[in-house]
Chains A and B, each alone.
Chain A
Amino acid sequence: MNLFTPLSWNDAGFILTGILNTVYISVIAIVVGSLLGLLIGFIRAESNKTVNVFLGAVLDVLRSVPLIIQLILFSTFIGVMGFPLPPFVTGSIILSLYTMAFMSEVFRSGFNSVPVSMVKASRSLGMNYLQTVRYIRIPIGMRAVFPSWIGVALSVIKDSALVSVIGYMELLRTAEQLISRTQQPLMILIGVGLFYFMISYPLSRYGKYIERKMEI
């Protein structure tokens, strides 16, 4: 217990803020990124080659430039433009777009996995285009890619640590500051690692379980 002495209750509160901020920005990025990804994924599944190539190229840039560079570039850019935003807003925007880039691929393959015959069958029941999307293609397609969706969501939680680079006080940044003050790197880092693990591990197990269940 000696190891804990340099850490005060204030520090615990500090870490808790970090935890909440990590959860906060992750949830925003996953929700916004998924909604945008669903829309883009649907557009890509429905549209012709020209639109697809264009959209694909734009999304590809988001996936081929390190997140950390995107964060620095965007925050510098809006600063230069004269509209500096708080790190939380900048971070949420970039992390959401980054998430969208991966989610759109997930959802696109989900839409493509719905057999044409099933869509035809629902049309023959008298459903219109939007109804087949709403009642058939989204539920069936999204179920098929649910494990992949979990995978992307988990990587977003882990990647949210990078928003620290623009000064957002998420968990790892609070940990880093605490380390430089208390010189207790191992204790603090193991605690932080455990937190990520406790969120990520059960979810990834759940994803695998669903995947296996769907194979049968």
Chain B
Amino acid sequence: MIEIKGVHKSFGDLEVLKGIDLTVNRGEVVSIIGASGSGKSTLLYCINAIESINKGNIIVDGIDVHDKKTDINALRQNLGMVFQQWNSFPHLTVLENAALAPQVVKGFSKEKAEEIATKELKHVGLGDKLHEYPTKMSGGQQQRLAIARALAMEPPYMLFDEVTSALDPELVGEVLDTLRLLRDDGMTMICVTHEIAFAKEVSDKVAFFHEGLIEEIGTPQEVLDNPQKERTQQFLSKVL
């Protein structure tokens, strides 16, 4: 379970998170929507401790992420993250990209790491690209590689930060299909996304962020089909 309690985050004078409370249970898919600059992505970075927080707590399976005593690298192994930009490692093959972290972080043997990596790469449909270099692949393929690379650490949670926004429109579908696949596997996911239709289809909960606060949260039917707040209605009317 991921528990987010009263989280505040500022960049200098700019307060981007103004007290966020959110709970994500095992097996749940939570989508976060909202305008650019509403703090959606920052929250994900704070969950993964890539950004520090100023106030509040983020607790993953009982462990306080921002406690100084927490072994953050150990914790990150439980939180797979995929970014807007796929950040493939250009000097490694597809297989090496996915097998590296299991090997050097978890200490698995090369064989074991490659076995897991191969399984995950096949899962996302890159089984025929194992020995190619990512720089030669399309954005969609590289993004699926990034997903497989995170999955190869076998994390119970996955965080997705606008994983389709940097893609050409015709490549969005294949990445969303991969996310659907993960939902069907029962993966716990937090997806920051602009794909409202997708959020509606896969999510258990949808949270609408506005200026650093959760303006409205509930089931997709509640938030997307019958939004109660005026700001949510305005946002949806703009993007739908």
A and B touch in the complex (CB under 8 A): no
